[in-house]
Amino acid sequence: MAIPNFLYKNNRVLLKELTKTDFKLRYQGSILGYLWALLRPLMMFAILYLVFGQLLKFGNDIPHYPVYLLIGTTIWSFFSECTSQGIQAIVNRGELLRKVCFPKYIVVVSATLTAVINLLINFIVIIIFALIDGITPTWTWLIVPIVLFELYMLSLGISFLLGAINVKYRDITSIWDVLMQALFYAIPIIYPISMIAETNTTAAKVLLLNPIAQVIQDARYCMATTKTDTSWNYLSESELIFKFIPICIVIIMLVWGSWYFRKKSKKFAEEI
């Protein structure tokens, strides 16, 4: 049976309103308000650049290293915010779910879209930094939104899967926070992948099979410098099939997460 068009319209309106509400509530009660959308990733970048760029001299051989680092920290902040908010979305909206009947996925999508808004704001800052640092815009900048969409799909899949589990087992949020701390250092955000490749080329190849690392490196390659190491640099022609592993991981996570979320969503109102 076909679903009436007005239901689709109602869902779009609800998604829009929930996204606006989530974004406003995120900064409600703070003195600086929406400025925190810019300040948080910039403060993280400033600390990392001071410690690793200036004191430890990471990235000396990488052109435009400040922009290189800013891209990495911004994308990481997006992934971290997107998943953390998405995982907690159903629990945070428990009262609404008990009172109103609507597709539950809207709650998760609205929570993750607030992270997308922050990402768009931060990329305006990245573009300004890049121009100040002497980087000339090229057509490869147009590829970045496609690469970021891949990461958003991964974040959405994780949010669906872990968000559904989190309804019953609230430990998921704490476990994910610990895992994110480990992932931060396992992904080449503050250090160039060449540092790993110098001692272990295989380890560098494995790191680049991580979709998060792949997206960060591809975005850097497109926007900051072509000296950025990507999976295309490290994998030979005979290893061509492995270059598609990150995309396969994203697809599997999105399909698995969506399926599991849909399966469990009927009991959300009872379990919250």
pLDDT in tens, 183-199: 988 888 888 887 887 78
**Strand ranges inside 100-140, DSSP E:** none
Whether 53 and 47 have beta carbons less than 8 Å apart is answered as: no
CA 112 – CA 96 distance, rounded (Å) = 18
Sign of CA dihedral 246, 249, 254, 257: negative
Q: Where are the domains of the chain?
A: 19-271
pLDDT score, position 228: 75
pLDDT interval class at 7 (50, 70, 90): very low
**Residue 229 neighbours by CB distance under 10 Å:** 21
Average pLDDT over residues 163-169: 90
Name the nearest CA neighbour of 52 among 72, 22, 31. Answer: 72
For the record, the structure tokens of 148 come out as: 């970021």
Asked if residue 150 has pLDDT above 80, the reply is yes
Question: pLDDT band for position 157 (50/70/90)?
Answer: very high
Per-residue pLDDT at 248: 93
Q: Which residue's entry shows tokens 């379990």?
A: 271
Place of tokens 């800013």: 70
pLDDT at 36: 62
Q: What CA–CA distances, in Å, run from 203 to 28, 53, 229, 246, 253?
A: 44, 23, 13, 15, 23
pLDDT band at 57 (very low <50, low <70, confident <90, very high): low
Report in angstroms the alpha-carbon separations of 146 from 74, 120, 260: 16, 13, 26
Mean pLDDT of the chain: 82
Q: Which of 155, 163, 177 is nearest to 87 (CA)?
A: 163
| Highest mean pLDDT pick, 100-104, 164-168, 235-239, 248-252 | 248-252
Q: For residue 101, is pLDDT > 80?
A: no
* Percentage of residues of the chain with pLDDT beyond 70: 81
Give mean pLDDT, residues 199-222: 87
Cβ proximity of 63 and 72 under 8 Å: no
Checking if the pLDDT of 272 tops 80, the result is no
Residue 5 is predicted with a pLDDT of: 44
Position 237 scores a pLDDT of 61
Containing H/E element for 30? none
In percent, the amount of the chain with pLDDT more than 90 equals 29
The mean per-residue pLDDT over the stretch 157-167 comes to: 93
Give the rounded distance of the alpha carbon of 47 from its chain centre. 20
Q: Token pair for residue 238? A: 């005979």
Quickly state the pLDDT bin for 28 (edges 50, 70, 90).
low
What's the one-letter identity of residue 135? I
- Model-level pTM? 0.86
DSSP type of residue 3: P
